[in-house]
Structure 1
Amino acid sequence: AKVDTVVVDKTGTLTNGRPELTDVLAFDGWSQDEVLALAARAETASEHPLAEAIIRGAEDRGLAVPLIDAAEPVTGHGIRARIDGQDVTVGTAALLREQPDPAPVLELNELGRTAMWVGVNGQAVGIVAVADTVRADAAAAIAALHRRGVRVVMATGDASRVAHNVAAQLGVDEVRAELMPEDKLDIVRELQDAGRVVAMVGDGVNDTPALARADIGVAMGAAGSPAAIETADIALMADRLPRLPYALGLARRTVRTMRINIAIALVTVAVLLAGVLAGGVTMSIGMLVHEASVLLVIAIAMLLLRPTLREDQPTLRVTSREGVRV
């Protein structure tokens, strides 16, 4: 209820999490199909949405994408695999021995696409690029958070230009891009040290440390990984981002209702006690007033049920680490 800052993961939370292959560039005598086939085979060992986009793109072109025996995810950079006796990498330029000209990647990033270098034995042989689409309801959800006085920070491992492109579409207050998984945890700590009450929203395994550290962890239940759902305090059980401001609003209404009901109960008891001591309240009047106050408290509490009767309202699951924390 006291949350004033929301840190949101981009892929799968603000975006649909189903990117599509948009570009394949090939260098040094390699064909586009060869570059794409290598990238797709390497990505068969990854569960990241970007990997799925590359594999789907290769299959759509009729390329064979057999599974590989050995692959090693490189946290925050991409993946390294052994294919047909060659070391194949897909990800950032940090995976390559020689740093290539960044111009093609920067150009693709300017278009809002996520570009990845494809390397063979440390040499860049091409680039694959994918683009994700923003959720149709993301802008409305962020606007609803702003109306509640909540600051929205987007945290992503994507390139800065891609992240700012998405943020500009949605009205995000602050962008933190090109992050390693542990950086999200550091951002949550930094905001908390600044006196902020932080909610972290994510759906992937990489988000679990930040979800655990945040004052409130929120997992996108429909698309979220089991680890993220287990770690979070609240799981939004359908893939609809507007449920986040709804949950925040429900929490604030609940706290406000509790305070009102406590005030009614205390005032009623104080008035009755004073009346009894003054001799002006009989037992029958006292019982009548007390029971009336109980009915009033119940009626006010039942007002919280009204939004949940509407079909467009969410189903929430509270999975708190320390009891119910809303």
Structure 2
Amino acid sequence: MSTPTRRLINIPIRVEAAAPRPAPTHAHPHHHEHAAHEEASASCCSHDDCCAPGDLTAPVSVANSQAAPEGADRIRFRIDKMDCPTEERLIRNRLEPMAGVVRLDFNLIARELTVFHQLKDTSTLAAALTELDMAPTLLEVGQKAAPLPQAVPLHMKLQLALAGLAALAAEVLDWREAPLWAIALAASLAVALSGGPTLKKGWIALRHLTLNIYFLMTLAVLGAVLIGKWSEAAMVIFLFAVAEAIEAVSLEHARKAIQSLSALAPDTANIWRQGHWQSVPLDGVAEGERMMVRAGERIGLDATVLKGPAALNEAPITGESMPVDKHTGDPLFAGSIVVDGVVEAQVTATAGHSTLARIAAAIQEAQAQRAPTQRFVDQFARYYTPSVVVLAVLVALLGPWLAGGGALHWVYQALVMLVIACPCALVVSTPVTVVSGLANAARQGILIKGGVHLEQGRLIKAVALDKTGTLTAGRPTLTDVITLQRYNAQNALRIAASLDQHSSHPIAQALVAAWRERDPHGALAPVEHFDVLAGRGVKGRLLDQHWQLGNHRLVEELGLCSPELEARLETLEIQGKTAFVLLDEQGAVAILAMADTLRAESRQAIEALDALNVKAVMLTGDNQATAEHIAKQAGITEVRGNMLPADKLDAINQLVAAHGAVGMVGDGVNDAPALARATVGIAMGAAGTATALETADVAIMDDDPRKVAQFIRLSQATSRVLKQNIALALGIKAVFLALALGNHATLWMAVFADMGASLLVVFNGLRLLRLKA
């Protein structure tokens, strides 16, 4: 079977990172034309190494921004006492000035620090972290960190309860005008029970000249004690400890949401060894081994089905809620669940290299990237805090002179301002919000490789979509069987399938599959003297006569192209279909047409983009007529056909110039240059394609194009929450700062202003975990 020279279905051949493309066992005429088309398509990228993600993305994309700096080694620490940006800033101030330190990457949610360095002796790094009382633990390459301890263990809860009683007692004694020693005793007990960690961190911050919340809180408590405000000092330290505990529990919730995504694989797998099934730890399973998974069990490793069938829940990987039927040869992804049947499969990737492991690594790197809003907030806080501290000092020094009143009164107001000065709520709001957005997306089968891409999605004004494999199924489907004489449609299809069973080309195999689907119990006829007619079709002898199955060119060369046949072929080709003619010894018997059909979800995907006022543009290597036919079905008005990879790159440049932020959606290596150039590159069907996971900024794990609009909506929601959090944090600070300047704020009110705002923005950010985009 051969393809008409004037019509060509562009069936993408996915290039996996680990394996070359297998050659067909029998050359098929369509294969030669398609191979030529691919060779032309790859003209701007003629060698495999030039298609490496690093080369493509370096000039124009931040997708590879987490790569190690050139010439730098990497060392990773688990930091048990680092759970908020305050500790991050303290560590940065200590380590970044050290000779040989190139870059620091923080993962606050997992409490991990990666140091890129050029040091011969890394013990100085651990010593510096220990000096900061951060409790560092060195993690070896590939080592999984031990589970983090409970955010607020039982003994801490008991201590806080006793501290609360002591602080309340100090307040009551103060109100009853009890002796100072009694108030001081109760207050000291409250401080001792709840203030140890805060005061210790405040001392460390003072030694390293870092203006953070612990330094400011320590200064406020000591200042209150020095001016005789014992009960206030006790209440401040207690309230701060309670707020810290609540914040730690909230962050633990975000942490568990992330961990639940990367801890989906079981610890062991049933492997066939020494003549029987054995339970083997995942780390001990090699590629190529035979694995069995029963109903109700999780797939431990990526594999290919050997025996089935079985139904799998792939929602943990792809976000697809409906079970997916798996048959011999189908891929299995680690983390998915067998819901019906028993499956035997051959392992295709070891524990550290499965799709699930790649997703976990991408999420890990995404958390280390600082989103644009987070970078802005960090820079703002760097100037905001010292400014308010200077203002507090001026209030203490100039208040008695400018407004009258005692010096202690104005010192107290200055202490209130110091507590208000901490930008904790402002700084903690962004990482919690971004991580919640990343976790929500991953649960829906959308892997976003960094906060920068999560924020940029809302800016997208136009989306360019590849046709084949993105809007269409990416594989040929039999659409028409038109009989011309003597034979009915089923018999004609059986003869064509009998001829094509000897070819391994995707179009030939699709025709055979279509016949099996229509007649599952039927048998194909044996074929003798099978031969390929290069560029035209195939021929063979069956059912006691000679048959040919070929394209438009073959029919014309045989002189059998009547006006009626010509009209039928032309009609099918205008519809974007590839037509073939079945001929016996007397002439044309039937016309069979194949097409890469539109996905059922594609029209909904375009409608969703239209609802967001995002322009959809189709880019495809197919001819313009075929492209326009598919575009019309999908509801796309702007179509660009006959495009090589370099043309797609030019098209993205034009769209960027016209619209600003542009998304590119594709599924193949040929789309990589355009994916890299776009504001946000979105890879389709990334669960089965290592290249897409590495190249794109956003990876849609299944093949559902509707998730492009979901990503944009989630980005918009994340932006709204970030703005809300910034407004909340600064608004509350402004109100209490005004109260302090007007002599209406107390120390415990200032603590509520600071930590209350922190809790508000954390809880607001966590809302994104439950958002349905």
Per the shorter chain, which TM-score range? 0.5 to 0.7
* 1:29-108 correspondence runs (5 A): 41=503, 44=504, 51-57=505-511, 62=524, 88=535, 106-108=570-572
Aligned counterpart, 1:165: 629
Candidates 459, 464, 468, aligned match of 1:7:
464
Following the alignment from structure 2 to structure 1, what is the Cα–Cα distance between the partners of residues 481 and 646?
A: 30
Aligned counterpart, 2:705: 241
Residue 225 of structure 1: how far off its partner (Å): 3.7
Task: Return closer, same or farther for 1:277/1:40 CA change in 2, 3 Å cut-off.
Answer: farther
* 1:297-308 correspondence runs (5 A): 297-307=761-771
8 Å CA contact 2:606–2:634 kept in 1: the answer is: yes
**1:113 correspondence with 2:570:** no
**1:280 correspondence with 2:744:** yes
RMSD of Structure 2 on Structure 1 (CA): 3.8
Aligned counterpart, 2:144: none
Residue 87 of structure 1: how far off its partner (Å): 5.7
Aligned counterpart, 1:148: 612
The code of the aligned residue for 2:668 comes to G
Bigger shift: residues 223-232 or 263-272: 223-232
Task: Return closer, same or farther for 1:104/1:211 CA change in 2, 3 Å cut-off.
Answer: farther
8 Å CA contact 2:464–2:652 kept in 1: the answer is: yes
Relative to total residues, which structure has the larger helix share, 1 or 2? 2
Candidates 672, 679, 683, aligned match of 1:208:
672
Deviations 1:37-78 (A, max 9, x none): 69985xx5xxxxxx512333257595999xxxxxxxxxxxxx
8 Å CA contact 2:621–2:641 kept in 1: the answer is: yes
Q: What is the DSSP-based 3-state SS (H/G/I as helix, E as strand, rest coil) of the residue aligned with 2:617?
A: strand
Residue 89 of structure 1: how far off its partner (Å): 7.7
Q: What is the DSSP-based 3-state SS (H/G/I as helix, E as strand, rest coil) of the residue aligned with 2:473?
A: coil
Residue 104 of structure 1: how far off its partner (Å): 7.4
Task: Return closer, same or farther for 1:103/1:204 CA change in 2, 3 Å cut-off.
Answer: farther
Residue 4 of structure 1: how far off its partner (Å): 0.7
Deviations 1:18-37 (A, max 9, x none): 32245799xxxxxx989x96
Residue 278 of structure 1: how far off its partner (Å): 2.4
Following the alignment from structure 1 to structure 2, what is the Cα–Cα distance between the partners of residues 8 and 64?
A: 43
8 Å CA contact 2:603–2:635 kept in 1: the answer is: yes
**1:17 correspondence with 2:474:** yes
8 Å CA contact 1:40–1:58 kept in 2: the answer is: no
8 Å CA contact 2:608–2:709 kept in 1: the answer is: yes
Deviations 1:77-107 (A, max 9, x none): xxxxxxx8986489x99xxxx9xx9987643
Following the alignment from structure 2 to structure 1, what is the Cα–Cα distance between the partners of residues 657 and 525?
A: 51
* Paired residues, number: 266
Q: What is the DSSP-based 3-state SS (H/G/I as helix, E as strand, rest coil) of the residue aligned with 2:475?
A: coil
Q: What is the DSSP-based 3-state SS (H/G/I as helix, E as strand, rest coil) of the residue aligned with 2:613?
A: coil
Q: What is the DSSP-based 3-state SS (H/G/I as helix, E as strand, rest coil) of the residue aligned with 1:8?
A: strand
Q: Taking every aligned residue pair, what percent have the same amino acid on both sides? A: 40
TM-score, with length taken from structure 1:
0.68
The code of the aligned residue for 1:268 comes to I
The code of the aligned residue for 1:3 comes to I
Residue 8 of structure 1: how far off its partner (Å): 0.5
Deviations 1:273-308 (A, max 9, x none): 222222221111111233322222122212212236
Following the alignment from structure 2 to structure 1, what is the Cα–Cα distance between the partners of residues 669 and 569?
A: 27
8 Å CA contact 1:21–1:57 kept in 2: the answer is: yes
> Could you list the runs of 5+ residues in structure 1 that have no partner in the other structure?
26-31, 45-50, 66-83, 118-126, 314-326
Following the alignment from structure 2 to structure 1, what is the Cα–Cα distance between the partners of residues 651 and 761?
A: 41
Following the alignment from structure 1 to structure 2, what is the Cα–Cα distance between the partners of residues 197 and 273?
A: 39
Q: What is the DSSP-based 3-state SS (H/G/I as helix, E as strand, rest coil) of the residue aligned with 1:292?
A: helix
Q: What is the DSSP-based 3-state SS (H/G/I as helix, E as strand, rest coil) of the residue aligned with 1:133?
A: strand
8 Å CA contact 1:19–1:133 kept in 2: the answer is: yes
Q: What is the DSSP-based 3-state SS (H/G/I as helix, E as strand, rest coil) of the residue aligned with 2:460?
A: coil
Following the alignment from structure 1 to structure 2, what is the Cα–Cα distance between the partners of residues 64 and 227?
A: 41
8 Å CA contact 1:221–1:229 kept in 2: the answer is: no
Q: What is the DSSP-based 3-state SS (H/G/I as helix, E as strand, rest coil) of the residue aligned with 2:598?
A: coil
Following the alignment from structure 1 to structure 2, what is the Cα–Cα distance between the partners of residues 276 and 264?
A: 18
Residue 267 of structure 1: how far off its partner (Å): 1.6
* 1:303-314 correspondence runs (5 A): 303-307=767-771
